[in-house]
Amino acid sequence: MTQRHIYPFTFGDMSQKDLLGGKGANLAEMVRIGLPVPPGFTIATTACREYLKTGKFPEGLRKEISDSLAALEKELGKTFGGVKNPLLVSVRSGAKFSMPGMMETVLNVGITPEVAQSMADSSGNARFAWDSYRRFIEMYGKIVCDVEAEEFHKVQTRVLAAHKTTNLQDLDVEGLKALADGFIKVIEVATGKEFPTDPREHLIDSIEAVFRSWNSERATLYRRRELIPSDLGTAVNIQSMVFGNLSDDSGTGVAFTRNPSNGEIGSYGDYLQKAQGEDVVAGIRTPMSLDEFGVIEPRVHGELEKIMVMLEAHYKDLCDIEFTIERGKLYILQTRVGKRTAEAAFRIALQFVDEGTITMDEAIGRTSGDQLAMLMFPQFDTRGNLVEIARGIPASPGAAVGEAVFDSKRAFDLSKAGKKVILVRRETSPDDLVGMVAAEGILTSRGGKTSHAAVVARGMGKTAICGTDSISVDERANLFTVGTHTVYEGDIISIDGTTGVVYLGAVPVVASSVTSYLEGRVSAETDEASPVVKAVHRILTHADSRRKLNVRTNADTPEDAIRARILGAQGVGLCRTEHMFLGERRSYVERLVLAENEDVQRGVIAEMEPLQRADFVGIMMAMSGLPVTIRLLDPPLHEFLPSLVDLSSQMARSEALGEEIPARDKALFAAVRRLHESNPMLGLRGVRLGILIPELYKMQVRALVHASLEVKKLGHDPKPEVMIPLVSTQRELLYLRETLEEEIVQTFKGTNQVIDMPIGTMIETPRAAITADRLGVHADFFSFGTNDLTQLTWAFSRDDVESTFLPRYLDLELLPFNPFESLDQAGVGILVRQAAELSRTVRSDFKLGVCGEHGGDPRSIHFFHELGLDYVSCSPFRVPIARLESGRAAVAK
């Protein structure tokens, strides 16, 4: 039996978006509740999927189209392609998820010169008829025949000049006919074929074009950005035409039931007299507001207002409505839940709560962490005359203005002197941290959304644009070039981390009131608080009351810990102690690793201990009463040792010039060559370093004990936890745990005090995940290091793949998303799930957390909630986002 692919608008409801697409399901819903919808039918998404797979219509679809067209003709008393009472239709896309403007529409299908003349005679308005014909020819040429828009523009320019006008609206009937004839000639030249005259051929061609538009470049990019699956396909809606361009009491418009820009109550939209829908979108004429429309058409405006109220009450949400008026009669062409800004999302959700339409649980489900992030970052005021010079990957949102600086140390010095700087690099490394901290923002010509610059910038709440490959950075000459522009050190640039745009000169910045509230500088309880601040406060408060996941932070400094606590963090889930030895302290790790013997090592370790102790005191003071998880040193050697390539070059140069090479340089070169690793991320790091140099980890727990005692003496409540990195085997963990426990006991001895100090491990290797029950016997807690777990599961080098093949994989949709941005639940997620289940066979209340980059990713947080983990840990700036998403996960159905 042949599968059915077509359904009339009288079939179905808004729940059937999988089959009918969003537009088709909403059309069916509006018909069901009795709204004035022009009749039509929907070609289901199943037909599109088969067409895209085989390159041809499914069996029986052409007959279904013919039968459905016949039924529509009978219902309306019109004939498709007929001269008497002609039926014209629109052919519109309609995917399950709204993709506004991403796919194609063809209007006035069914019109021919004979039909146009008939419409001219019956309407008494020849211009309307031939304008409709002209519109169809142009749309058919662009969408079906892929003729460049510029070719039609050339014809239009010639015809307008011949008729001594510059405005299409002023063309008379003969001018419109000449324009249509010129368009047809362009199409025939481009296709090498005579223009078809059969309306049924036009209809079939238009349907195929809409199917194909599912895979257009813009639709593909939009799906990727919105994480919409590529295999859904689009439905196609065939709807009988109503004509807003027929008469003075005709027109078309778009209405929103509330303001989608700022969330204010009251209808919002545009209306154009004597126009078709494309005119509103194209912006070729200035529309009037709905209030102005109400003055000239009060009766119809009143009808529209009633329908808007009805639709909003029915959908219980902001509705976006397209409507057309034909000779004073109102028709609703489509509706959907309207897209809105982040501010509008928060405000509208609470308006519906206050009106008794939805619950607070539903309200937090209508906001998102991504929207909250947008509200937290400062934004540029782009209303002035701006000079855009480049675009890159928007890696960390926000707006930053400053002098371009090409060296981290210089960025630090200039910042200390009171100047605002933008750090510009080809790419950043851990040694750039001092400059990144000092800079207002970071701009790189290489790297992606999870490159070093991006990850660190997000963690610090710094604006960043990465992968700006149109700029050529010359770090020696302290300049970058792009096109005809050369930007020298000291020149002012502005970078927009939300859009990825780089501007020349200073762009004014609009501060975020939401960030001021979250950081405690503005109260939400005062009358002066903005509506969006009050909305964010209510939403976050409810999310906190509903969430099961605790939210900790990744903090390596007291300043990070203080900020995170203000933002709502419930402890530190990851303190990366190796980050405490970057910048000026980098030499300690270098000397430790290159030490010639154990005595030298002990000397370096002794120098490191007071530094560690002071750092720990500051962080635990900031987090008094809350857990602080200290990850023992995990330094990939390539981040701390001199480059072997650079040293080899220096040695070769000195030998070639006959220069004497100092003994220290020779020793350094020999040591670096001995310790050089082809893949440092898989080499001497984490637990392996602690086993090779046990005094190092013993020093760290000793410093932690002393710091805890000092914090307690000062009247605070330290809650330290020790975390061992990169463990893979039970024996590794047991060996180090016994070593560390003995050191902790010895350090407390004689103090007459004991502070509980749980010892756990990270789960960041696949072997650790699948043997979690064995590791769990010797661990007090696990924390999933999803960055390394992703890297090791995929066999991806995170530092390399984003600049090589990963963008191509994403372009080809071989990967639906970057697995370093959002957890790969179908792969890495299985390991996380398995480890969680195994660990809780050891103890039902085994404490589990996440401290990788995914701990702040909204989609990943929902997965961690589903697994029943105890907490997520993320960068300070993302703490409010994780709080909201954890609440949303708890109330999600």
Query: Exposed (0-12), middle (13-18) or buried (19+): which is 171, by Cβ within 10 Å?
Result: buried
> Which residue in this structure is represented by tokens 């950043």?
428
What's the Cα-to-Cα distance from 322 to each of 31, 302, 698, 863, rounded to whole Å? 15, 16, 69, 37
CA 559, 564, 566, 569 torsion-angle sign: negative
- What mean pLDDT is predicted for residues 704-709? 97
- What mean pLDDT is predicted for residues 241-257? 91
* pLDDT tier, 431 (very low <50, low <70, confident <90, very high otherwise): low
Neighbours of 873 (CB within 10 A): 30
Do the Cβ atoms of 408 and 507 come closer than 8 Å? no
Rounded distance, CA 207 to CA 217, Å? 18
- Higher per-residue confidence, 435 vs 133: 133
- What mean pLDDT is predicted for residues 16-44? 97
* Local structure of 782: helix, strand or coil: strand
The region that residue 477 occupies, defined by phi over 0 for left and psi between -120 and 50 for alpha, beta otherwise, is alpha
Do the Cβ atoms of 577 and 612 come closer than 8 Å? yes
Query: Exposed (0-12), middle (13-18) or buried (19+): which is 60, by Cβ within 10 Å?
Result: middle
Annotation marks residue 466 as catalytic: no
Residue 283 DSSP code: T
Rounded distance, CA 760 to CA 781, Å? 5
DSSP3 helix / strand / coil % (the chain, rounded to 5): 50, 20, 35
Range with the poorest average pLDDT among 119-133, 317-331, 431-445: 431-445
- What mean pLDDT is predicted for residues 654-665? 82
* pLDDT tier, 281 (very low <50, low <70, confident <90, very high otherwise): low
What's the Cα-to-Cα distance from 616 to each of 460, 551, 611, 710, 804, rounded to whole Å? 19, 20, 9, 10, 39
Do the Cβ atoms of 630 and 604 come closer than 8 Å? no
Do the Cβ atoms of 509 and 381 come closer than 8 Å? yes
Rounded distance, CA 817 to CA 809, Å? 9
Residue 140 DSSP code: I
Query: Exposed (0-12), middle (13-18) or buried (19+): which is 522, by Cβ within 10 Å?
Result: middle
The average confidence (pLDDT) of the chain is 91
pLDDT in tens, 574-619: 999 988 887 778 788 778 777 778 888 889 889 999 999 999 999 9
The region that residue 195 occupies, defined by phi over 0 for left and psi between -120 and 50 for alpha, beta otherwise, is beta
Give all strands of the β-sheet with 6-8 in edge-to-edge order: 6-8, 40-43, 234-240, 89-95, 105-109
Residue environment code for 692-715, b if the CB has 16+ CB neighbours within 10 A, otherwise e: ebebbbbbbbbbbbbbbbbbeeee
* pLDDT tier, 450 (very low <50, low <70, confident <90, very high otherwise): very low
Annotation marks residue 452 as catalytic: yes
**Tokens encoding 222:** 């939009």
pLDDT in tens, 194-224: 999 999 999 999 999 999 999 987 788 778 7
- What mean pLDDT is predicted for residues 534-551? 97
- Higher per-residue confidence, 871 vs 587: 871
Rounded distance, CA 886 to CA 869, Å? 11
Residue 448 has pLDDT above 70, yes or no: no
Do the Cβ atoms of 882 and 874 come closer than 8 Å? yes
**Tokens encoding 299:** 């009766």
> Which residue in this structure is represented by tokens 């049924």?
200
Closest CA to 590 of 613, 608, 575: 608
pLDDT in tens, 608-653: 999 999 999 999 999 999 999 999 998 776 666 777 777 788 888 8
Catalytic residue among 452, 778, 862, 865: 452
Do the Cβ atoms of 788 and 726 come closer than 8 Å? yes
**Tokens encoding 114:** 């004979």
| Distance from the Cα of residue 155 to its chain's centroid | 41
Residue 737 has pLDDT above 70, yes or no: yes
Rounded distance, CA 242 to CA 408, Å? 63
**Tokens encoding 489:** 């050190």
Query: Exposed (0-12), middle (13-18) or buried (19+): which is 303, by Cβ within 10 Å?
Result: middle
Neighbours of 573 (CB within 10 A): 28
Rounded distance, CA 709 to CA 716, Å? 10
Rounded distance, CA 883 to CA 546, Å? 10
* pLDDT tier, 283 (very low <50, low <70, confident <90, very high otherwise): very low
**CA angle, 519 then 524 then 525, to 5°:** 135
Which pairing describes strands 550-554 and 509-510: parallel, antiparallel, or unpaired? unpaired
For residue 106, the cross-strand partners are: 91
Side-chain-side CA neighbours of residue 440 (13 Å): 23
Q: Which residues, other chains included, contact 593 with Cβ-Cβ below 8 Å and sequence gap of 6+? A: 637, 640, 641, 675
Greatest Cα pair distance in the chain: 107
Range with the poorest average pLDDT among 262-266, 565-569, 859-863: 262-266
Percentage of the chain beyond pLDDT 90 is 67
* pLDDT the model gives residue 63: 96
For residue 762, give the H/E element and its range: strand 759-763
Rounded distance, CA 736 to CA 451, Å? 32
pLDDT in tens, 343-385: 889 999 999 999 999 999 999 999 999 899 888 877 888 878 8
Rounded distance, CA 267 to CA 323, Å? 14
Residue 559 has pLDDT above 50, yes or no: yes
Phi and psi angles of residue 48, each rounded to the nearest 5 degrees, phi first: -65, -45
pLDDT in tens, 675-690: 777 777 787 788 998 9
* Overall size of the chain counted in residues: 893
Side-chain-side CA neighbours of residue 388 (13 Å): 11
| Distance from the Cα of residue 566 to its chain's centroid | 25
Rounded distance, CA 348 to CA 370, Å? 17
* pLDDT the model gives residue 806: 87
* pLDDT tier, 268 (very low <50, low <70, confident <90, very high otherwise): confident
* pLDDT the model gives residue 617: 97
If you write DSSP's letter for every residue of 694-719 in order, what string do you get? HHHHHHHHHHHHHHHHHHHHTT---E
* Local structure of 215: helix, strand or coil: coil
For residue 504, give the H/E element and its range: strand 501-504
* pLDDT the model gives residue 377: 79
* pLDDT the model gives residue 451: 63
| Distance from the Cα of residue 588 to its chain's centroid | 39
Strands (E), 203-248: 234-240
> Which range among 142-151, 366-375, 836-845 has the greatest average pLDDT?
836-845
For residue 486, the cross-strand partners are: 481
Catalytic residue among 851, 854, 862, 865: 851
